[in-house]
A and B are shown apart, each in its own frame.
Chain A
Amino acid sequence: MPPKKIEPKKPEPKKPEPKKDAAPAAKPAPPPEPLPEPPKEPDFDPKSVAIEFSTDQIEEFKEAFTLFDRTPTGEMKITYAQCGDVMRALGQNPTNADVLKVLGKPRPEDMSIKMLDFETFLPMLQHISRAKNQGNFEDFVEGLRVFDKEGNGTIMGAELRHVLATLGERMTEDEVDRLMAGQEDANGCINYTSFVKHILSGYIYMVHFFSS
């Protein structure tokens, strides 16, 4: 792999939008009937979140938060881009969309620049922790059964790779490779029940390691 050239990323200064002139007053056509809008989800308001974690839990979160702090002077801050990872490291399971929502839907270019401190992070974590429907073993298996053409308990590895890389919150080729390492048999098939156990077992080991 060719060595990467290191250049510090400088944020682009925001250019002010040129103001449009007001349109000349011609007789406006009657506006079309507005389509019914889907019910808009309220933006995330951190102040509205009541913290229910115990003091002990909060202390432990702080320790984990500090582990991810990469500021040179140890300011106890992480970037927006790290927020999802820290939450996951603390046992939560948000989608990337969930994380972006609690972050206030930042722009992509802000993700590695904007920082948050622990006080800002905590209500976000609390909110995420209340999410229901984390998905269990049966959910996984059901989902994968869709791809089981022959109904014999296996799916094609190539199909699964394709799905993970193109649907949902796409994974990169690298991530897919790591996840599927050693899962496909000689014919490129995967027994999806054991595959799901494989994914979940990694999680369980971590739970034992870091919490009681």
Chain B
Amino acid sequence: MPLRHVPDVPFCCFSAIRAALLIQRWYRQYVARLEMRRRCTWNIFQSIEYAGEQDQIKLYHFFGFLMDHFTPASSERNLISHIFRENEVCRDADWERYFCYKDIEVPDSYCGPHLAFPMTFCGVSKLMEAFKLKQQLHARYVLQILGETWRLLRILPNINHVSVCHTKEITICGDLHGQLEDLLLIFYKNGLPSCEKPYVFNGDFVDRGKNSLEILLILFGFLLVYPNEVHLNRGNHEDHIVNLRYGFTKEVLGKYRVHGKKILKLLQKIFSWLPLATVINHKVLVVHGGISDSTDLDMVARMDRHRVREASSSSQIRVPPPPGALADQHLGPGSEEQHPASLPPQPAHRRRPAELLGGGRAEGEAQAGWVRSDLQRSEDIVNLLWSDPMPQNGCISNEVRGGGCYWGPDVTEEVLGKHNLQLLIRSHECKQDGYEFCHNRRVLTIFSASNYYEVGSNRGYQASRTCRELTLRQRSTRSALRALRQQLFVHKSDLVGAFQEFDPNNTGVISLRHWATATERVLKLGLPWRVLRPQLINRAQHGMVDYQQWIRELSITDIMETMYKNHSNLETIFRIIDTDHSGLISFEEFRQTWKLLSSHLKMEISDKAITDLAQSMDFNKDGSIDINEFMEAFRLVDLSTHA
């Protein structure tokens, strides 16, 4: 900024200095308050997201509950086997026929991009331009790209080995999560992938954002054009069960009403075939989640990665096959699809994450050899995709996520040392400031797509950041508060119970301290409640909180509250039941599901209440329930108590 000639100003004038000091103080205070607000907002989102991941654990427990409590004779058997029904064993050739795009015609009215194959750089550029203009690629081309990608991925190894010569750099990108602008911004600032510009995309391309499919198509496009320079690692969100919950399934079905199911099925296969890690110059290991004390890269390199379709702890649930089914199953490496249902009849054995890392191993040993390796394989993958580092030594199960582990600096040293590596780069964790080193700078976390990392061997490691705070852009304080108020809303009865424990005389008011304690006890979000209180609930006089007034302001019945509380689980369950992805489930399926869920939650809900509910949800009055319409009913209206 050029220093303009300033005319004759009395610089030593006391009031000038005083004015400057005043303004400077106030400005600094404003900035500090902004910072606190920013951190608060961040904490809210973090805690609610982690709580959502815990919900995922509850879902898996629910399935375990089903397995433990419902015998083949019980009336819900059909529903359960329907839920867990796996597809028939097929060969790749059969799948290729199913996925064939050739019969799909592109109408003249289609004004999106036309693609030619084999894929070229021009083709991918055309694709990107089209997506920038919010156009949608025709299903025919989608299936074509996905088909080519699937074929390519099947010949790639589990671990990409990359050599970057000393004049080049390689760029590593963190989680993209469906945010197309992030990807485009990285390409804009850093350049497009090419022979001169290698890239590693470290997983979590999909879910949450609304352009997950576009991101995949662009990444796969570049992968097809530059298979030696573009490397994709699988993330924990490249998993169709997780996608049911976090939005990708919905996105695809919404955009492709006719061919969405086929696209999703092909994507399931592609995800299972994504490589698990990348090693650069024999020195740097790049993986989405992390490692565990049992990580052995040589074993990882040898496994059949595609046999683990769900890279999450749900794959630990084994279903006893229906009697007589065994004769029809193909066993051994020849068959393409090994399902849990094709294991030899053992008692259903649900292994919790803790068991996997501790005593459970002895039981695993007792099972047939190849069964053990099947489970071990999926455990290894879960660890690579779900683990988080921790400051203390050791390796413990990751209860927060429900999968993978927390690993300490000693494990880092051991695993890196075993394979002669210098650095582990991973993503998976979202934090405020960008990248973060830990474990004596042996582990680097790149947090989001807004932050990418350049590795150039002549310049050492550099981390760079884009200047937009993209991770916070969408996360305004207002939406954080709205999400938090929703949490209060759906936990109303538990909160009231907790408040009343502090109010034996039923006065309807409790102290601020008791309010904060009770709220944390119920919600368990670890948030600064006193700081947030003015935005959540009105204060009565003298430092007391009038909770009964708050109750009066909300109106929600018990069954509705249960539904709201579990709505994301409900949606996931419904989508699993809807195995043909038609978007509809029958009355009977709805009723049975609800009954199961309520018995699992130990709630008393009468058949009549469920039937009434089902009927009120049948918006078309045709005897089936449209899942999307059902879930629409759950979008909570913004509570306007505090604007």
Contacts and interface: CB of A to CB of B under 8 A. Distances in A.
Given A56-B543, A94-B25, A135-B25, A67 B463 contact: no
B281 interface: no
Given A59-B530, A143-B22, A206 B462 contact: no
A85 B32 contact: yes
B531 interface: yes
Contacts of B454: 3
Given A94-B25, A163-B20, A3 B463 contact: yes
B513 A146 contact: no
Contact of A149 (B7, B22, B34, B461): B7
Interface string A76-90: 000000001111110
A188 to B, nearest CB: 9
Interface stretch (B9-17, B261-269, B289-297, B366-374): B9-17
Interface residues of B, number: 60
Contacts of A89: 32-33, 35-36
Given A60-B531, A206-B37, A84 B28 contact: yes
A114 B493 CA distance: 46
Nearest to B40: A67
Contact of B36 (A140, A161, A210): A210
Nearest to B454: A3
B391 A73 contact: yes
Given A59-B513, A95-B25, A210-B534, A143 B15 contact: yes
B20 to A, nearest CB: 4
Interface residues of A, number: 63
A212 interface: yes
Contact of A179 (B1, B27, B513): B27
A94 to B, nearest CB: 7
Interface string B526-560: 00111100110001000100000000000000000
A59 B511 CA distance: 13
Contact of A146 (B13, B27, B31): B13
A64 B531 contact: yes
B38 to A, nearest CB: 10
A118 to B, nearest CB: 14
B534 A168 contact: no
A116 interface: no
A199 B22 CA distance: 11
Given A146-B10, A210-B534, A203 B29 contact: yes
B25 A209 contact: no
A168 B32 CA distance: 19
Nearest to B19: A143
B615 interface: no
A140 B528 contact: no
A113 to B, nearest CB: 17
Given A93-B29, A210-B534, A159 B23 contact: no
A169 B1 contact: no
Interface string A2-25: 011110100000000000000000
Contacts of A1: 467
Given A3-B463, A93-B29, A206-B33, A67 B39 contact: yes
B600 interface: no
A196 B397 CA distance: 55
Nearest to B512: A56
A68 B438 CA distance: 19
B24 A169 contact: yes
Given A56-B513, A96-B28, 14 more contacts: A5-B460, A59-B530, A60-B530, A63-B528, A63-B531, A67-B39, A135-B22, A142-B15, A143-B20, A147-B16, A162-B3, A163-B9, A164-B20, A206-B33
12 contacts: A4-B462, A64-B528, A66-B528, A94-B25, A146-B15, A158-B4, A167-B11, A167-B16, A167-B17, A170-B24, A175-B31, A210-B36
Interface of A: 1, 3-6, 8, 54-56, 59-60, 63-64, 66-68, 72-73, 84-89, 92-96, 135, 139-140, 142-144, 146-147, 149, 158-159, 161-164, 166-171, 173, 175, 179, 199-200, 202-203, 206, 208-212
> Which 3 pairs, one residue from A and one from B, show the smallest C-beta to C-beta distance?
A143-B19, A88-B32, A63-B528
